[in-house]
Structure 1
Amino acid sequence: MQDYTLKKSLGQHFLKDEKILEKIMQALSQTSFTRLLEVGPGGGALTKHLLQLQGIEFKAVELDEEKVVYLEKTYPDIQGKLIHQSILETAPPFEAPFTVIGNFPYNISSQILFKVLDWKELVPSVFGMFQKEVAQRIASKEGSKDYGILSVLIQAHYEVTYLFDVPASAFNPPPKVISGVIELKRRETTEAVASDKKFKLLVKTAFNQRRKMLRNAVKGLFDPEYLKDEIFNKRAEQLSVADFARLTFKMQ
């Protein structure tokens, strides 16, 4: 009998399907790492497997005090390894590179990825579970209707692989959506950009009016003369990460 409550406000849906947990652990075992951060361990379904990994430093970040108490009582090995705060406000938990894993709370999953981007120098790989449509968005390539801000900003630094679907029945309580697990591996070489700030601004501005031709969507960012270039005849979703990166050098 579980002695904790599930909090809707924190987007809590806990994994209970051991087959899915095995698949996640199998995917994780293909990567070498010595430090691991779990985001949102919740009831500890995945945590209990992660705590058994030999020869690694493990930490977990959990906002919900009730879950912290439950985890420390149920898994004594986790003592001293829990960071009791929001992942969005956490400083990097290790000074050397670490892998991130988690069944991310759906209501902040995109923000968690932006946090990973802030830490990109320290995070070579991520294994995350998301709502399926978010996972597809992160993994989609140019030309797809799912391709957007998240796809470009993540893929500028990481190769994304969509690993597998997770049915609603694998959770307690079952969410109303299918989930998906994806893997991010940091790219060995990245496209040169004028600055991260310009890159973000360009991508967000372009996709905020994604139905418009690029020329109209981003006209405030470029010299009118340069806007005659034929690349501006395209829509945002037709541009590759490399296209966006190149354009940052022409911004005003």
Structure 2
Amino acid sequence: MEKVRPKKHLGQHFLTDLSIAKRIAQAVTGHGGAQKVLEIGPGMGVLTDFLLENPQELYLAEIDQESIRYLEAKYPHLVDHILEGDFLKMDISKVFQEPFAIAGNFPYNISSQIFFRVLELRHQVTEVVCMLQKEVAQRIASPKGNKDYGILSVLLQAFYSIEYLFSVPPGVFNPPPKVNSGVIRLIRNETKSLDCDESLFIKVVKGGFGNRRKTLRNSLKSFQLPESLQGHPMLDLRAEQLDVADFVFLTQKIQESRGHH
């Protein structure tokens, strides 16, 4: 089997270090009773080999035709489990009706979009174990009050407990990326839904972080903050100083003032 050429436009960096692949696969816990795992971007199956040792049933989502042919030849028994196409656009409900986990060495150029998709699928995605650019991994796992903390941190931490597992140097990839990588694990928490309008919540979070140096009083001006909030000390803080519950509280207040309950 000819090796697959890594393609720059797909952000492909193939992991070559087997011990790291094994650690990533072993970090999948099967939380929430997930019987299936979807690996995003398996490439030549370095991580796949170890995921196959886990008890869950494995599915592969791959967009690269050359990789797909390689995977079909390498894993003939998985042919029906190889989903061709872009995970971001895939109709997941055709494949998974039940809870499932996601694993993978995410393409760096779309890792944030993958997480927004995970949020859309949060009622099914019980766990995510992935490798991505270290900065993004740290940001997602970062607690409030930290300069790395941002929009994705809040949105994901609303529904997942997040743990930064370990860092990975560039040299263990072909081709080596220009940045370090980090592996994180997201475990679905007990929150079924937020106690506020969730689309407004997302807007408030994005608005709050829109200008990080401003206090919330200034960054949330466009939301016409209600009188009842004007004197609230929270508005003198910056977005990075608020946790999920604080943003839910702000969203509730803005909602009430608009007459939505």
Which category describes the TM-score, using the shorter chain as reference length?
Answer: over 0.9
Is the 1:152–1:241 Cα contact (8 Å) retained in structure 2? yes
Dislocated runs of 4+, deviation >4 Å: 29-32
TM-score when scaled to structure 1? 0.94
Instruction: Return the alpha-carbon distance in structure 2 between the equivalents of residues 219 and 170 of structure 1.
Output: 47
Deviation at 1:191, TM superposition (A): 7.3
Instruction: Return the alpha-carbon distance in structure 1 between the equivalents of residues 117 and 68 of structure 2.
Output: 22
Instruction: Return the alpha-carbon distance in structure 1 between the equivalents of residues 77 and 182 of structure 2.
Output: 29
Q: Select the residue among 242, 245, 250 that pairs with 2:245.
A: 242
* Residue of structure 1 equivalent to 2:225: 223
Deviation at 1:149, TM superposition (A): 0.1
Q: Select the residue among 97, 100, 121 that pairs with 1:98.
A: 100
Is the 1:61–1:87 Cα contact (8 Å) retained in structure 2? yes
Instruction: Return the alpha-carbon distance in structure 2 between the equivalents of residues 101 and 30 of structure 1.
Output: 11
1:157-172, aligned counterparts within 5 Å? 157-172=159-174
* Residue of structure 2 equivalent to 1:123: 125
* Residue of structure 2 equivalent to 1:146: 148
Deviation at 1:66, TM superposition (A): 1.0
Percent identity over the alignment? 49
Distance 1:213 1:53, change over 3 A: closer
Is the 2:216–2:239 Cα contact (8 Å) retained in structure 1? yes
CA RMSD of aligned residues (A): 1.6
* Residue of structure 2 equivalent to 1:44: 45
Q: Deviations over 1:167-197 (max 9, x none)?
A: 1111111111110000000111367331110
Identify the range of structure 1 (107-116 vs 91-100) with the bigger mean alpha-carbon deviation: 91-100
Q: Deviations over 1:217-250 (max 9, x none)?
A: 0012133523332210111111111100111111
Is the 2:194–2:248 Cα contact (8 Å) retained in structure 1? yes
Instruction: Return the alpha-carbon distance in structure 2 between the equivalents of residues 222 and 98 of structure 1.
Output: 40
Q: Extract unaligned runs of 5+ from structure 1.
A: none
* Residue of structure 2 equivalent to 1:173: 175
Q: Select the residue among 180, 184, 188 that pairs with 1:182.
A: 184
Q: Deviations over 1:18-44 (max 9, x none)?
A: 110121122125756311111111111
Is the 1:160–1:185 Cα contact (8 Å) retained in structure 2? yes
Q: Secondary structure at the match of 1:66?
A: helix
Q: Extract unaligned runs of 5+ from structure 2.
A: none
* Residue of structure 1 equivalent to 2:86: 86
TM-score when scaled to structure 2? 0.91
Is the 2:14–2:43 Cα contact (8 Å) retained in structure 1? yes
1:51-70, aligned counterparts within 5 Å? 51-54=52-55, 56-70=56-70
Q: Secondary structure at the match of 2:139?
A: helix
Instruction: Return the alpha-carbon distance in structure 2 between the equivalents of residues 224 and 36 of structure 1.
Output: 45
